[in-house]
Amino acid sequence: MDRRVFLGSAAALAVSGAVAPLPTQAATAEDARLRALLDAFFEADLDESPQSATTYGLDVGKRAAQRSQLDDVSSAGRARWVAARKARLAQLSRIDAGKLSPLSRTDLEVVSYAYRTIAEGGERFTFGEGAAGFSYAPYSPYVLSQLSGVYQSVPDFLDSVHPVKTAADAEAYLARLEAFAGLLDANTADFRKDAARGVLAPDFALEATLAQLRKLREPAAEAHGLTTSLTRRTAEGGIGGDWKRRAAAIVSGKVYPSLDRQIAAVEALRPQAKPDPGVWKLPDGQAFYAGALAFQTTTTLTPEQAHALGLKQVAELEAQMDTLLRAQGLTSGSVGARMTQLAKRPDQLYPNTDAGRAELLNALNEQTEAMRAKMPLAFKTLPKAPVEIVRVPPEIEDGAPNGYATPPALDGSRPGRFYINLKDTAEWPKFSLPTLTYHEALPGHQWEGSITLESTEIPRLRQVSLGFAAYGEGWGLYAEQLADELGAYEGDPLGRLGFLQSLQFRAVRVVVDTGMHAKRWSREQATDYMVEKTGFVRSRAQREIDRYAIWPGQACSYKIGHTEWVRLREEAKARAGAKFDLKTFHDVLRRGSMPLVVLEQVVKQTFPA
């Protein structure tokens, strides 16, 4: 799994257990020309990313060899990726937009926007993570951190995504395991190169990185998860072979030496790292953050404007929460302190045991199915949207986010999953869980992604390869509001408090992200603010703040995206009056993920004045 597919994304999701139908053929000659070009781009994307091919179940037939390969994470590979997007822009510029149908014109605008952003940012900022898999490149500034680096992404990928159903799959696993060692060394070389330019993750992030690297290096090779994953799955599948010995030999002979070199490099450079969480300290850091904010929100908001918006929304939501808390008899202290008090009530806590975690997961799945029954009230398109809600693997939960999602294979052989970090169940009081379910599952990310994949209106490139955080995460937060509008919290005032706390959390994110990266807030200042305003336990807030330090701007995509989704709906209602139809508005999802500036145009076309 890749934690960049974070808390859901616009990545394609399986529908009805089979590959979704390809979009309908283009309507005009120029449409056909554009479609052919976009289809060629999609094939090239798969050529560049064997891991994506496996993720989507497309590493078969002519792509069977890719099942033995991993993505190129090197700085040289990143430079080629950026140059390719610039070349694609030149190809797209030769399309005559005036001869395109409205649907194809949107395709052109969406793809051009994505490539232009990558080309401009990638040429200006040549440091940071490569573009492997689902990446925030060119605005993921650190090659190694607690959230970035192949040391954490490849083991997850091999265990959770790489299939082991045949002996050939097992051989491909071993080939990828051997390639993993080379990728570790490539990461280490780029880490050193960036550090020489003054680009290092904050000291607290490198401390967490070292802890995770040492934990990865600790087991005997025969007992390592990289070995036991293969031996367990070959045994389950009755696949004969000396898999344990062969995997352990690669781990001990190649992976461990590469890990040792990476650990030594981080240990050597750790003293140079600074405690400041913001990217303002990086070369051209102010411009980097402005670019990252635009990249993640697909708006023209400046850091100062986003900060002011966040503060305004925090105050508005705090007032609403205060009213509900007072109705519960909670009148003393700040809103955050009272939410903390509520979260500690025994009736709101699951036991911090495996049995308690299983009970929590069961509740999430039940809430998902209850919401499914309400979907016909608000949607024309009704995909089956299979959802699997599971625990973040315990071995990575210390550094993992509070939740993230992975897309399933396009052929339905592996479902999409939402992972929830259950290191401490006290971080998930019962009143907070319904909203989490609506955000991640139905009518949130899984629902949105399934409608996109089911669509016959967009090319495969847009269904699978291109996603925009503010669109997807904005929809996830809008889905929480929609669940409220569908009556999910009727008779459940505590559940509604959880919903408002969720919105408040996302508004706080805008404040602390811009605070750290533009206003030079310290890590402690940002954490204190989140605890005060949300009532989250400090461990959860700290993990969130540490994530925002690594992925600048991404935390702003949620509430800014939500604000835009709501604004566009209300403006459409005002234009259409009595003719406004909520189901038609939601069918905009069939047009696929897009920048918010393009979404505004599409909604206006759907509901003209």
- Cα 402 to Cα 4, 13, 499, 539, 547, distances in angstroms: 13, 21, 17, 11, 10
User: Is a pLDDT exceeding 60 seen at residue 17?
Assistant: no
DSSP at 1 = -
Model pLDDT, residue 133? 58
> At 6, is the pLDDT very low, low, confident or very high (cuts 50, 70, 90)?
very low
Residues above pLDDT 70, as percent of the chain: 93
Q: Please state, rounded to an integer, the average pLDDT across all residues of the chain.
A: 92
> At 395, is the pLDDT very low, low, confident or very high (cuts 50, 70, 90)?
confident
Q: Which of 65-69, 222-226, 415-419 has the least mean pLDDT? A: 415-419
> At 414, is the pLDDT very low, low, confident or very high (cuts 50, 70, 90)?
low
- Of residues 409 and 542, more confidence is placed in 542
Residues above pLDDT 90, as percent of the chain: 83
Model pLDDT, residue 401? 72
Q: Which of 25-34, 315-324, 382-391, 470-479 has the least mean pLDDT? A: 382-391
Torsion on CA atoms 41, 45, 48, 53, rounded to nearest 10: -140
User: Is a pLDDT exceeding 60 seen at residue 22?
Assistant: no
Model pLDDT, residue 455? 87
pLDDT of 475-498, one tens digit each? 999 999 999 999 999 999 999 999
Cβ(324)–Cβ(496) under 8 Å? yes
pLDDT of 513-534, one tens digit each? 999 999 999 999 999 999 999 9
Q: Given its phi and psi angles, is residue 292 left (phi above 0), alpha (psi -120 to 50 degrees) or beta?
A: alpha
Model pLDDT, residue 450? 84
Q: What sign results for the dihedral spanned by CA atoms 187, 190, 192, 195? A: negative
pLDDT of 327-366, one tens digit each? 999 999 999 999 999 999 999 999 999 999 999 999 998 9
What is the rounded end-to-end Cα distance, in angstroms, of the chain? 44
Model pLDDT, residue 597? 96
Contacts of 243 (CB under 8 A, 6+ apart): 170, 174, 230, 231, 234
> At 385, is the pLDDT very low, low, confident or very high (cuts 50, 70, 90)?
low
Q: pTM for the full model?
A: 0.91
pLDDT of 274-305, one tens digit each? 999 999 999 999 999 999 999 999 999 999 99
Region 39-49: mean pLDDT is 95
Q: Given its phi and psi angles, is residue 198 left (phi above 0), alpha (psi -120 to 50 degrees) or beta?
A: left
Model pLDDT, residue 440? 87
Torsion on CA atoms 309, 312, 315, 317, rounded to nearest 10: -60
Model pLDDT, residue 11? 37
Model pLDDT, residue 9? 35
User: Is a pLDDT exceeding 90 seen at residue 107?
Assistant: yes
Region 368-373: mean pLDDT is 91
Model pLDDT, residue 535? 87
> At 23, is the pLDDT very low, low, confident or very high (cuts 50, 70, 90)?
low
User: Is a pLDDT exceeding 80 seen at residue 45?
Assistant: yes
Model pLDDT, residue 394? 85
